[in-house]
């Protein structure tokens, strides 16, 4: 899934690698806007760029699914593609959010050189570490694939290992992209890293399209050729390399010039790495959850095909469902959270807990205003949307329906997922990675237990649906624990205001849900399966539901409605 078609473990949000406007010279410290207007302006820039990135990423996913499908070849590719993004989402992406961004913000504020020497040391160390990890991973490709695909068929295993030799090279470029994005964020640049993945998406779309033309649909590990696998693997890696290059150019245009240096004594990096020790534990815990998900999904898909069910319901289906699930989160919440983190880190450094609490509450409520109705809409229309998006090429209608079932379950966890990610950012802004690591242990216990129950009790074609349900429930338990801890730390989380808004939003969505089920029933019983239903039901249902939601929100006096209307008027006025 996103740069991305991989499983997103419980450890972090989907990093966007996507940010801003490139000025002529570098400023010595990030400029913090004290009001909500600056945050909103930056968030709007992020939202537009993120939407372009995510929509092009979704188009890439559709083309890739049509090329390799959701059966054994698709699982072989996605398993090999998962491993570099584990480091991106958990080790590299999580490290950027929890340690590097707050650390760089402080050094740019406090150091006489605006943190330049610190950035040079960090950049040099990171490049060397990434090279070492990448070379080691490529050498250990067979062991890594066995770790995540121990139940693969022999030919499927060999296919995945061959692809991994290319795809593991992405570790270097993914990690470098995360660092470059963090350095751009601390400069208040929210555009280059939002748009860089668009190029990556177009490269992979071109590669997948070429594969579909050359190989044709329905390829299996037994029938795909080495040349065709080379096209898939090398082409995917080239897209990520291009993304990292674009981000590096964007950073140099801010005035930054990298000077390699390894004089780490007294640099403060040791303190940051000690803080990162807990993040490493969190990484191990969430990677354990990912390992369980991937192995169970791969085993279930092999069993499903062996039983003649002829439905692709493994890790590929899970990843494709996640692509749809994360779109609203990535477009709405990630934009706000990415802009919020440097600002909230500065407030936490000043011990201004009222400002931290206000930032958290406002971001949560603004996100929820969009995400609550979106979650219910996606859950209702998950199957027709999935069929419309994926049922072509190597993906059958039955395969797409299976994706829709997974998506429906995931979407109901959209708000808990978002709230939990936002709470993690508050801990990271406070320089606390220990508490998220401990909470990650609780998440892992819930997720693992429910995934195991699903594997033992459900038929093979529904196991991944149960795994997705466990994944979402783990965030509900996690945010409950995190909320209690944070409330004590910062003197409350504006809970009464937040809960009041959430209650109003859920009441406001009731008429929309009723109307959506009515529209779905009408199309399924009166129109029947076909393009008219797959397009008409979501379009009509969402149009009617959106209108009813806005009316209900106005009647219930949801304050975020007025804020949204005012924001739109301001934008149109410009």
Q: How many CA atoms lie within 13 A of 489 on its CB side?
A: 19
Indicate whether 524 and 438 sit together in one domain.
no
Read off the pLDDT of each residue in 332-348 and give the average, rounded to a whole number: 71
Indicate whether 353 and 401 sit together in one domain.
yes
Read off the pLDDT of each residue in 13-19 and give the average, rounded to a whole number: 31
Query: Does residue 20 sit within a domain?
Result: no
Main-chain phi, psi angles of 373, to 5 degrees: -65, -35
Read off the pLDDT of each residue in 556-573 and give the average, rounded to a whole number: 64
Classify 399 as helix, strand or coil.
helix
**Which of 73-82, 111-120, 158-167, 426-435 is least confident?**
111-120
In tens, the pLDDT along 302-339 reads: 888 777 776 767 888 898 898 888 888 877 777 666 66
Read off the pLDDT of each residue in 260-286 and give the average, rounded to a whole number: 68
How many CB atoms within 10 Å of residue 503? 12
Residue predicted with more confidence, 106 or 156 = 156
For 133, the domain range is 46-493
Indicate whether 371 and 512 sit together in one domain.
no
Residue 519's pLDDT is what?
Answer: 92
Residue 335's pLDDT is what?
Answer: 65
Assess contact for 290 and 86: CB atoms under 8 A.
yes
Query: Does residue 448 sit within a domain?
Result: yes
Residue 18's pLDDT is what?
Answer: 30
- pTM for the full predicted model: 0.76
Indicate whether 391 and 513 sit together in one domain.
no
Rounded to whole angstroms, the Cα distance separating 84 from 174 reads 7
Query: Does residue 443 sit within a domain?
Result: yes
Classify 7 as helix, strand or coil.
coil
Residue predicted with more confidence, 229 or 70 = 229
For residues 305-329, one letter each, b for 16 or more C-beta atoms within 10 angstroms of the residue's C-beta and e for the rest, the string is beeebebbbbbbbbbbbbbbbbbbb
For residues 247-270, one letter each, b for 16 or more C-beta atoms within 10 angstroms of the residue's C-beta and e for the rest, the string is bbebbebbebeeeeeeeeeebbbe
Indicate whether 474 and 486 sit together in one domain.
yes
Indicate whether 69 and 150 sit together in one domain.
yes
Rounded to whole angstroms, the Cα distance separating 540 from 516 reads 8
Indicate whether 420 and 502 sit together in one domain.
no
Helix/strand/coil percent split, the chain, to 5: 80, 0, 20
Read off the pLDDT of each residue in 396-406 and give the average, rounded to a whole number: 90
Query: Does residue 2 sit within a domain?
Result: no
For 108, the enclosing helix (H) or strand (E) is helix 101-110
**Which of 20-24, 125-129, 365-369, 541-545 is least confident?**
20-24
Residue 1's pLDDT is what?
Answer: 37
Boundary (domain end) residue, out of 493, 523, 547: 493
Assess contact for 211 and 45: CB atoms under 8 A.
no
Boundary (domain end) residue, out of 466, 493, 520: 493
Residue 479 tokens read as 């945010």
E strands along 110-179, which residues?
A: none
Boundary (domain end) residue, out of 442, 458, 493: 493
CB neighbour list of residue 507: distance below 8 Å, 6 or more residues apart: 552, 556
- Name the DSSP letter for residue 100: I
Indicate whether 294 and 214 sit together in one domain.
yes
Task: Give the confidence band of 31 by pLDDT, cuts at 50, 70, 90.
Answer: very low
Residue 565's pLDDT is what?
Answer: 63
Indicate whether 473 and 503 sit together in one domain.
no
pLDDT of 267 strictly over 70: no
Residue 426's pLDDT is what?
Answer: 84
pLDDT of 541 strictly over 60: yes
pLDDT of 150 strictly over 80: yes
Query: Does residue 22 sit within a domain?
Result: no
Indicate whether 462 and 561 sit together in one domain.
no
Task: Give the confidence band of 404 by pLDDT, cuts at 50, 70, 90.
Answer: very high
Residue predicted with more confidence, 54 or 407 = 407
Number of domains in the chain: 2
Query: Does residue 6 sit within a domain?
Result: no
Task: Give the confidence band of 340 by pLDDT, cuts at 50, 70, 90.
Answer: low
Indicate whether 306 and 415 sit together in one domain.
yes
Indicate whether 443 and 508 sit together in one domain.
no
In tens, the pLDDT along 475-512 reads: 999 999 999 998 888 888 888 888 998 999 999 999 99
pLDDT of 199 strictly over 50: yes
- What does R_g of the chain's alpha carbons equal in angstroms? 23
Average pLDDT over the chain reads 81
Query: Does residue 18 sit within a domain?
Result: no
Query: Does residue 243 sit within a domain?
Result: yes
Residue 101's pLDDT is what?
Answer: 67
Rounded to whole angstroms, the Cα distance separating 445 from 215 reads 42
């Amino acid at each position: 899934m996103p740069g991305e078609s991989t499983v997103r473990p419980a450890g972090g949000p989907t990093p966007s690698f996507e940010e801003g406007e490139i000025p002529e010279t570098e400023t010595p410290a990030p400029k913090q806007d004290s009001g909500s207007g600056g945050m909103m302006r930056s968030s709007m820039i992020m939202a537009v760029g993120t939407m372009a990135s995510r929509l092009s990423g979704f188009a890439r996913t559709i083309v890739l699914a049509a090329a390799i499908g959701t059966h054994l070849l698709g699982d072989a590719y996605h398993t090999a593609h998962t491993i570099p993004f584990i480091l991106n989402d958990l080790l590299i992406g999580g490290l950027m959010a929890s340690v590097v961004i707050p650390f760089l913000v402080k050094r740019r504020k406090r150091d006489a050189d605006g943190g330049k020497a610190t950035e040079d040391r960090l950049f040099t160390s990171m490049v060397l570490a990434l090279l070492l990890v990448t070379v080691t991973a490529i050498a250990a490709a067979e062991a890594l694939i066995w770790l995540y695909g121990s139940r693969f068929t022999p030919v499927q295993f060999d296919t995945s290992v061959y692809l991994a030799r290319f795809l593991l090279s992405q570790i270097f470029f993914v990690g470098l992209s995360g660092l470059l994005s963090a350095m751009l964020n601390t400069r208040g640049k929210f555009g280059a890293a939002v748009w860089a993945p668009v190029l990556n998406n177009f490269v992979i779309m071109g590669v997948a399209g070429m594969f579909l033309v050359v190989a044709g649909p329905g390829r299996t590990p037994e029938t795909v050729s080495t040349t065709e696998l080379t096209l898939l693997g090398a082409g995917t890696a080239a897209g990520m390399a291009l993304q990292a290059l674009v981000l590096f150019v964007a950073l140099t245009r801010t005035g930054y010039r990298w000077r390699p240096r390894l004089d780490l004594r007294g640099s403060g990096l040791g303190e940051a790495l000690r803080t990162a020790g807990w993040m490493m534990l969190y990484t191990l815990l969430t990677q354990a959850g990912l390992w369980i998900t991937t192995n169970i999904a791969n085993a279930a898909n092999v069993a499903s095909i062996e039983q003649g069910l002829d439905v692709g319901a493994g890790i590929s289906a899970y990843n494709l469902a996640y692509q749809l699930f994360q779109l609203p989160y990535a477009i709405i919440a990630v934009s706000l959270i990415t802009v919020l983190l440097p600002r909230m880190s500065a407030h936490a450094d000043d011990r201004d807990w009222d400002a931290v609490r206000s930032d958290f509450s406002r971001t949560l409520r603004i996100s929820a205003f969009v995400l609550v109705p979106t979650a219910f809409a996606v859950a209702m229309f998950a199957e027709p949307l999935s069929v419309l998006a994926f049922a072509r090429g190597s993906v059958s209608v039955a395969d797409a329906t299976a994706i829709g079932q997974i998506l429906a379950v995931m979407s109901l966890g959209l708000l808990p997922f978002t709230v939990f990610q936002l709470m993690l950012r508050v801990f990271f802004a406070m320089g606390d990675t220990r508490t998220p690591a401990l909470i990650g242990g609780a998440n892992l216990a819930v997720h693992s237990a429910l995934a195991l129950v699903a594997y033992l009790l459900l038929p093979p074609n529904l196991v991944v649906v149960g795994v997705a349900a466990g994944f979402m429930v783990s965030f509900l338990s996690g945010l409950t624990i995190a909320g209690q801890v944070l409330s004590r730390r910062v003197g409350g989380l504006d809970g009464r205001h937040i809960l009041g808004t959430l209650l109003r939003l859920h009441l406001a969505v009731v008429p929309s849900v009723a109307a959506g089920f009515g529209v779905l029933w009408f199309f399924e019983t009166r129109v029947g399966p076909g393009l008219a239903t797959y397009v008409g039901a979501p379009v009509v249902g969402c149009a009617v539901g959106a209108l009813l939601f806005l009316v209900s929100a106005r009647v219930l006096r949801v304050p975020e409605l007025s804020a949204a209307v005012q924001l739109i008027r301001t934008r149109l006025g410009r």
